[in-house]
Structure 1
Amino acid sequence: MKKFGLLTAVFTLAMMISLSMVVSSANALPTLPQYEPTKMKFTNYERWLLDANGNNIGDVNQNSILDAGDIIEGIVNVTTITDIPEVGTTWTDAPGGDELTGTFQFTVTAGSMLNTSGISFGFTSAGDHFKVYYDSVDDWDPTASDAWARAAGGDLYMEVLGADLMEGSARDILPGQTQTTWWFDLTTNNTGYDIIPQLWPETASGPGSGGHLAPDGWHPNGHTSQVYLEGSLYNSTIPDWDWRSEDPAYLYAVPEPSTIILLGSGLLGAGIFSWRRKKKS
C-alpha cells in the first residue's frame, strides 16, 4: 500500500507539474488564437530618423519627400489580439495591465511618395529593425519625452532583422493617406508559439484578395511568410511624430513542440501507471 501510495503521489505530481508548466507558459505571455489566423492590431507613431541631438537625418536629401535612401523610425503599441472576425479576443492592452510595445526603423529602397507607384522599403541601413517587447509595466506614452525608451522596455517578444523582411511597400491611396504592406519572417520568436508560414494576404482575406502595387510593378498575389502586416498612414497630431498608422498584423500560431511533448509525457506517464495498476489487480 505504501508503494502504491508513493507511485500515485509521484505520477500525480508529474501530471500537475506538466499541466502547470503548460498553463504558465500560455499565461505568462499574451495568448494567441491557435490553428487559425491571428489578427494583431498595432498603433504606430513614425518620423524621420533623428540623431542623438534630435536633428532630422532620415530625410537624406532634405526635400521633405519620402523617397529612395530616406530612413524612418517609429514606436509600436499592440492594442488587441483576436481572431480574424474579431469575435474571439485573447488579449487587450488594458490600462494598468501588461503591454506589447516596440520600435522599428526602415530604409526606403526605391520609389517616391510623389507618384502613385509608391515606395519599397527594407532593412538596408545600420540599425534597421522591427522589434516588439512584452512588459508587465504599462508605461506606453507617445507624448512622453522618453517615448522611445518606454516602447523598448521589457523582454524581447519578436524581432525582424535583415533578410527576414521579404518585402515592404507603401503607396498613396487618398490625399493624406498611405497604404503600407509588409511580409516578413521572424528573426527572433519569443511568443511561446510556433509561427507557421502562410500565403498572405490570401489566408487572412480569402482567395483573390491579394494584390499590391510597388515600384517594380503590380503583384497580383501575396507571398508565403510568417507574418503579414498592412495598414494606413496618416499625418500625426502628436508633436515630435510626423505620421500615425493603424496596422493589423496577421500570423498563424500553433503550440510549440516542447509544450505538446511536456503535456504528452505527463499523460503517457499517467497511462502507464494506470495500465500497471490494472495488470496487478
Structure 2
Amino acid sequence: MSSQHEKPAKKHSREWFEALVIAAIFATVLRIFVVESYRIPTGSMENTLLAGDFLFVNKYVYGARVPLAGFRLPAVESVDRGDVIVFKFPKDRSLNYIKRCIAVSGDTLEIREQQLYVNGKAFPLPEHAQFIGQKVPPAAADFQIFPKYSSFNKDNYGPLRIPRKGDVIVLNAETYQLYSSLVADEGHDISLMGVQVYVDGVPVKQYTVQDNYYFAMGDNRDNSLDSRYWGFLPERDIVGEAMMVYWSWDPGIPLLFDPLGKIFSARWQRIGLMVH
C-alpha cells in the first residue's frame, strides 16, 4: 500500500518542480529581453522621477542585448530626443544610470544661459524639470566639465556635435580631450606626444567612429552627473526606456528599523505614473 501512495506523491513533486523551473526560465527570459525593474537612487531626475521610485524599463524597444553573445536583438524603435533612458554608466558599467536623451547621433548641441538648443532649435525644458542652483555666467569655465580644459560650464556649453557611426573625426592636440575617451572605449590605445596623436602606436590625424553616440542629461539640471561631465553615451550601453512607476516610497526611512514608517511613506499618487 505504501508504495502505491509514494508513486503519485513523487509524480506530484516532480510536476511542481518542473513548473517552478519553467516559471524561473520564463521570468529570466522576461527580465533579460523584455522588462526589468529599476529603482531610482538619487534626485538627478527630479521632479520627473523621485529617489525611491521603482519603475519598469522596456528593454526590447531599443533591442535587448543577448548575454555573452556580443550583439543586440533588432530594435522596435530608435532612441529619440526626449526619451528617458536607462544605461550602463560608461565610466563604470557595473552601475545603471537613468537620464533623458537630449541629443542623438549627428546632432549639434548647445546650452546658452541654461537654454538648451539642438541643431539650432530651442529644446523645451521637460514639464517637471528644474534648476535649483545659481546660474553660472558664460565666462566661468568649469574644469570638471567634459571635455577637460574647455571653456564650457553646466549652463553654457558647446556647440558640440554628437558623433555618429562612420564619422571621420580629426585627431590632434586640440581635439584630444574631446575624443580620446571615445577612441579608447572602442578598444584602442590612444596617446598624445607633443602635438601628435597615436592610436595603437601609429601616428594618426583622423579616426572613423565605430558606434553611434548620444548626449544625456538629468531633469534636475543642477544636481545631475550627466554627459556634461563624462561625455558621449555609446549606443551599446543603452539598456532600455523607462516606462511606468509601479511603486514609490521615501528612501530616507530605513525598512529594517521602521517598517511601519516605511510602508506609510508610500507615495500612492505616483503608482501607475507613466514616464515621459
Fold match by TM threshold 0.5:
no
Higher strand share: 1
Q: TM-score, normalising length from structure 1? A: 0.25
Q: TM-score, normalising length from structure 2? A: 0.26
